Structure 1
Amino acid sequence: MPKAVVLGAAGGIGQPLALLLKSNPLVTELGLYDIVNTPGVAADLSHISTPAKVEGYLPPNDGLKKTLTGADIVVIPAGVPRKPGMTRDDLFKINAGIVRDLATGIATTAPKAFVLVISNPVNSTVPIVAEVFKKHGVFDPKKLFGVTTLDVVRASTFVAEVLGDLSKAPEITVPVVGGHSGVTIVPLLSKASHPLPSSFSSDERDKLVNRIQFGGDEVVKAKDGAGSATLSMAYAGAEFATKVLRAVAGEKGIVTPSYVHLTADPAGGDALKKEIGADLEFFSSNVEIGPEGVSKIHPLGKITEHEQTLIKAAVPELVGNIEKGVNFIKAPKL
């Protein structure tokens, strides 16, 4: 039965994420790791009347190895949060090293686990994990996911607000493609399950797209220097983890956007590269998840001229973000 692990479990995302995973009936064992407070978080969660057995470890005495032993799914929200005026790129210098070290632990202890990366900037941290796994000879592109679900959750919520009915939010789906920061976030509103009103102007559409792309800034500003999107991110991370767990358990037809290595499905990846007109290694698109991980990368299909323009704006940013992550591992250190 599945053992889920949260690396960065005592943080603003890690704690609510661990709570949601503890309450998930598909999880039978929960391993928690952080540099502080993890035994306390584990003790607290262990009193909840659900089947998952919880253990929490700190770095001493091979804590990371103990946490990861036997892991089936590893979720990584570790890192520092974004502060006002800070871009996801500013986070890179700190979070890149954290993610590299955790990826090394996974590569050596749980190389066959599904790895779900939340740590920002996702566009760069996922390539870091891939490069670490390649160095250890354990890279499986089908099992590495950048979690972009928060963009999807925001898009669904904001479209429901436009439609004036938040009760519809859970059933609204909006594919969000590209990456997971600013202009790389491309909501395909033309493919939303619930169409926007015919009276919706292009100005209103642009404002909605901008809100989906920069929803994180809204939260950072509202928290007034006290943090970033933690609760909504934990919800989104748990939602995506649940989809992976359901797929591993044998459920068919689970399709959701995720930022993946395009060799996870070479045919689908090549078709997607032709659509976007760029030879990218990573891109977020609708992926079908099966027991082995990514089973199919779906094409974008027919999109509007406006959405094509958004994709064109996203590509150069993505190229730079991916290179930054790859070079962090490959480039010789001075």
Structure 2
Amino acid sequence: MLSVPTHLIVIGTSAGGMPALTRLVAQLPATLPAAVLVVQHLAPDSTGEPLVARLAAHTALRCQLAAHLMPLEAGCLYLAPPDRHLLVKDNHLLVTKGPRENSYRPAADALFRSAAITFDSHVVGVVLTGMLHDGTAGLDFVQRCGGITVVQDPAEAEFPSMPASALRGVAIDYVATLAAMGPLLLGLVSSTQPLGQPNPLAIPADLRLEAAIAERVVGTTEQIDELGHQVPLSCPDCGGSLWELDKGHVLRYRCHTGHAYTAEALAERSQRGLEESLWVALRMMEERKNLLSSLAAHGEGRWSEQQTTRVEEIKRHINRLREFLLSSAEENPMAAD
């Protein structure tokens, strides 16, 4: 007979995540009354099975690669498959290929939101080591639904960006080292309070709507109008219009196709797109310089002198643009990567 979990522990991690996860789950017993759901950012063409086997070798929890409609069980760990979102519906899992959030699929934000509206105050959201910003908005979702938020101490995280972003954006309940996190999580989910049906009044309407959009994969402009107001920005993934969302403590944007971003993630993606465009412009200017140089070499008289002048002018533009791009890369090393 299935043992229905009293709580969900949802974990988001990225770079440096597997060593951190193995240390954390080693501290959790087989009798854990919660189910553990994990989003680890992976390459789309990778496979999650070796990671499941690696986790299983370090923990008493039953570790599985999440599958669509798989039932939730206490004492089990479910890893999101590569290139799929992991969501929760009632007491089972949903595995979908919905639009990316913060340019990730799977995304911690999508999992955290889904878990929060399903298990409300019986959710513990955890962000571990990783780069950029996924999980920050997700912890806000968990908190707004009455759950508890935990982040790894950035001082010990191999890549502190994700936990540091969460601390900037959300009033986190607990900051813990990995060594202290296992006992902390066990204590937080060991309440004997039975899991009841989520209280509709306790779940913010905007989060319920966002979760419904994620489950159906795509929303409508009318639904997005309920969540926020349209702004003069374009979605970097699909080129559609963006809406600035009105609720929550983390500034976020969403398009009607379903792509969603925190403001920091959108700025990061915009910076990357701008740099890509400027590198293309630099290549085109180099090609134009080469063409003008050939024209000058094969011409005569005043016409040839005009081409030479144009070559010198475009060289100046090329040098300025190259200096800008190189200085930008030095100031934003993660964006350059």
The TM-score normalised by the length of structure 2 is 0.33
Structure with max Cα Rg: 2
The TM-score normalised by the length of structure 1 is 0.33
Task: Select the structure with the greater relative contact order (CA < 8 A; seq sep ≥ 6).
Answer: 1
